[in-house]
């Protein structure tokens, strides 16, 4: 077992640890056993993750005499709706999951959100463990207790806050991700530097390319610092009454772009977050909050990582600025009909505001849609 880090999420009766390290699947039994009554867990996963890692998890649990039953769902965002959710809840009931049992969400963000929500409503709440297998899930969605599914009216509109009892982020499983999926997850990593820690952003500028190339020690450090920042914010504002919205830096733009591209392969969520962060800094510059160097530095880092950074990097046509603004208006972060934006005072200091004139957002989008020569 190589180096391991622990981030504690201090939420009183709902407090838990996030364990981060290589080889955690093999240790899953040791990590989970203290939380169990009977030595049996119920794993919700998906095809691709199951093919790559389910036997390793079974062996890790089995080493401590823990048996598992697994439900293997189809991969992809379309799983995150009522049909597969109903199937999951009914399967857990068929398995006679009891109040004191443990559900295990084993996969990326889709599985974590869906299985966590199933655990939240089953018998009015059973405990669950997150074992995130994508970078995005390790640094964002597995921590903080947001669970849910999509509605025809929008993404993540049906859900509950339900904190996991433990998160096991095995860095070695990141090695099986495609480069594109890894870099999409990195969109959320760089977001943490931008929103609250300039030293972390500088560290990423220096270490990002080596980390993406496969250095596990750097990956562990990036996941640890991201999770620590998320834990700090969630501790201050568990249910997003205020500060937690900072985690949505880049997301108002991102959600409009995801909707405009039909939530398709044209744009992955983390790619949209990265472009959205660059646009949020452009908007901050337009509003006189940051110097011109700041958005350029954000985009330069994305370019150095080989990531999408401009609207022109999204394949296919995009709608015009008015249509994108309308899509933003459907975002669930609209409060009293007003769009909320996360803007920046500098790299490493973001804030939430509803005070952004539509004309300035329009101008930033119009400029961003202009073909670059
Ligand atoms: N992904 C944003 C949050 O957990 O609040």
User: CB 6: neighbour CB atoms within 10 A?
Assistant: 11
Residue 25 pLDDT grade (very low, low, confident, very high; cuts 50, 70, 90): very high
Question: What average pLDDT does the structure give for the chain?
Answer: 95
Q: Best mutation site among 18, 144, 163, 252 for ligand 1, i.e. most ligand atoms within 8 A of its Cβ?
A: 144
Question: Quick check: 343 and 280 in contact, CB under 8 A?
Answer: yes
Closest-CA residue, ligand 1 atom 2, reads 247
pLDDT at 104: 98
From 161, 227, 248, the mutation candidate for ligand 1 (largest count of ligand atoms within 8 A of CB) is 248
Using the atom order of ligand 1, give the atom closest to the CA of residue 143: 4
The length of the chain in residues reads: 373
* Nearest atom within ligand 1 for CA of residue 233: 5
For helices 251-260 and 269-286, give the axis angle rounded to 10 degrees.
Answer: 130
Ligand 1 shell residues, CB under 6 Å? 140, 144, 146, 244, 247
pLDDT (tens digit per residue) in 113-163: 999 999 999 999 999 999 999 999 999 999 999 999 999 988 899 999 999
Q: Report the catalytic residues.
A: 124, 146, 188, 230, 240, 244, 248, 251, 255, 269
Domains of the chain: 4-176 (3.40.50.1970), 179-369 (1.20.1090.10)
User: How many Cβ atoms are within 10 Å of 12's Cβ, its own excluded?
Assistant: 7
Q: Tell me the C-alpha distance between 327 and 272, whole Å.
A: 14
At residue 68, the pLDDT reads 98
Residue-wise burial string across 330-363, b where 16 or more C-beta atoms lie within 10 A, e elsewhere: ebebeeeeebbbbbbeebbbbbbeeebeeeebee
pLDDT at 330: 65
* pTM, full prediction: 0.96
> pLDDT grade, residue 1 (50/70/90)?
very low
Where would I find the beta strands (DSSP E) of the chain?
Answer: 4-9, 16-21, 40-46, 67-73, 102-107, 127-132, 146-151, 154-161, 166-170, 341-346, 349-353
pLDDT value at 333 more than 70: no
What distance in angstroms lies between residue 233's CA and the mean position of ligand 1's atoms? 10
| Ligand 1 pocket, mutate which of 162, 241, 244, 245 (most atoms under 8 A from CB) | 244
Q: Is the pLDDT of residue 257 over 60?
A: yes
- 8's CB contacts (< 8 A; 6+ apart) are 15, 16, 17, 18, 231
Distance 342 CA to ligand 1 centre (A): 13
CA of 333 to the centre of ligand 1 (A): 12
pLDDT at 287 over 90: yes
């Amino acid at each position: 077992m190589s180096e391991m880090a622990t981030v504690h999420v201090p939420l009183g009766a709902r407090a838990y640890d996030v364990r981060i390290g290589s080889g955690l699947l093999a240790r899953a039994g040791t990590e989970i056993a203290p939380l169990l009554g009977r030595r049996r867990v119920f794993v919700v996963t998906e095809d691709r993750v199951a093919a790559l890692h389910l036997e390793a998890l079974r062996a890790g649990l089995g080493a401590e005499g823990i048996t598992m039953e697994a439900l293997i769902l189809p991969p992809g965002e379309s799983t995150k709706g009522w049909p597969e959710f109903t199937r999951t809840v009914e399967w857990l009931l068929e398995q006679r999951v009891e109040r004191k049992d443990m559900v295990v969400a084993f996969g990326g963000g889709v599985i974590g959100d869906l299985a966590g929500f199933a655990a939240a409503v089953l018998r009015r709440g059973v405990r669950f463990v997150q074992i995130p297998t994508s970078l995005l899930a390790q640094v964002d969605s597995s921590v903080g207790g947001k669970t849910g599914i999509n509605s025809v009216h929008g993404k993540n509109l049906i859900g509950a806050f339900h904190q996991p009892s433990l998160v096991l982020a095995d860095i070695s499983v990141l090695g099986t991700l495609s480069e594109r999926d890894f870099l999409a997850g990195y969109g959320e990593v760089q977001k943490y530097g931008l929103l609250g820690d300039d030293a972390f952003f500088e560290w990423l500028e220096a270490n990002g390319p080596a980390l993406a190339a496969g250095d596990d020690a750097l990956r562990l450090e990036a996941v640890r610092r991201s999770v620590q920042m998320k834990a700090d914010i969630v501790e201050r504002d568990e249910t997003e009454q205020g500060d937690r919205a900072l985690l949505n830096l880049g997301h108002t733009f991102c959600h409009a772009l995801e909707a405009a591209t039909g939530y398709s392969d044209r744009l992955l969520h983390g790619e949209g977050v990265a472009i959205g962060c660059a646009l949020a800094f452009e908007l901050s510059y337009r509003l006189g909050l940051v110097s011109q160097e700041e958005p350029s530095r954000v985009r330069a880092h994305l370019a150095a990582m080989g990531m999408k950074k401009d609207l022109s990097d999204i394949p296919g046509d995009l709608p015009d600025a008015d249509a994108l603004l309308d899509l933003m208006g459907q975002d669930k972060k609209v409060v009293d009909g007003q769009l909320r934006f996360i803007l920046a005072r500098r790299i490493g200091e973001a804030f939430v505001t509803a005070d952004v004139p539509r004309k300035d957002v329009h101008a930033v989008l119009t400029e961003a849609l202009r073909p670059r020569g």
